[in-house]
Amino acid sequence: MGDRSKFGMAKSLFSLGTDAGVDMSDPDQVSAHIERYNDLTIDERKDLLSDHLFANAGRQRPIGVCTGHHAYR
């Protein structure tokens, strides 16, 4: 679990959030964390996350956050 170069997008964003002090059990903090990430440029994102996550980085798409009703409760 320690080799971040092998993480997928979800685990990478989770780790990035916990490193920044985000309480990942608080939906409001997680949403704010994802919004901050979505506001970054591709180059800023590449500075934070592993290169393998950007193999198809031709276009910038926001990462969605589940809010409200979902099946994971």
pLDDT(25) > 90: yes
- Cβ 60 vs Cβ 42: under 8 Å: yes
Domain housing 35: 26-50
Q: Is residue 31 part of a domain?
A: yes
The answer to the question of residue 42 being in a domain is yes
| Cα–Cα distance for residue pair 49/40, rounded to 1 Å | 12
User: Within a domain: residue 7?
Assistant: no
pTM of the model: 0.64
Kindly tell me the burial class for residue 13, based on how many C-beta atoms sit within 10 Å of its own C-beta (0-12, 13-18, 19 or more).
buried
Tens of pLDDT, residues 28-67: 999 999 999 999 998 898 888 877 677 665 555 556 655 5
pLDDT at 26 over 70: yes
Structural domain includes residue 56: no
pLDDT at 18: 94
Q: Is residue 38 part of a domain?
A: yes
Better pLDDT: 71 or 37: 37
Q: Are 12 and 53 in contact (CB under 8 A)?
A: yes
